[in-house]
Amino acid sequence: MSDTRHTATPWIEDGGLTICSEGARVGRVYPKIARLEVGADHGANMKFIVRACNSHADLLAACELCERIITEIKEVAGGWDSGANRQNLIVARDDLRAAIAKAKGEPHERHTAHAGAVGVV
């Protein structure tokens, strides 16, 4: 697992071009995280970065829970049924494992196609 430290969340927009840390605030001073370049998309980019960073821990926890549940279903049932349900669970589990590894900064395999997946799990 990556042991990269980052400034405490939540992060906020300062109303200009700077992203600040509300989580590491000292009094009325918000530590600056990043300053975006002025451009047509800077406002949308800033909002996206702040949303992604602030939701990272919750999304990672949800993915880890789903991966554990899918793995437990296989272990408790002694395997998966055949057919579409089995393939969908395998695809979902593999995608979750790749997303979890990516979020943790670990090596991961990206699945480019899910030809065997049928419908939604």
User: How much is the pTM?
Assistant: 0.65
pLDDT tens-place string over residues 9-39: 888 888 778 888 887 777 777 888 888 887 7
Residue 41, judged by CB atoms within 10 A of its CB (0-12, 13-18, 19+), counts as exposed
**Would you say residue 118 has pLDDT above 80?**
no
Residues 37-59 have a mean pLDDT of 85
Q: Label the pairing between strands 18-21 and 11-13.
A: antiparallel
**How much is the pLDDT for 83?**
66
Residues 45-69 have a mean pLDDT of 89
The owner of tokens 């926890």 is 61
**How much is the pLDDT for 103?**
82
pLDDT tens-place string over residues 63-100: 999 988 888 877 777 666 666 677 778 888 888 888 88
Task: Output the CA–CA distances (angstroms, integers) from residue 44 to 13, 18, 37, 48, 58, in the order listed.
Answer: 11, 13, 12, 6, 22
Residues 109-120 have a mean pLDDT of 49
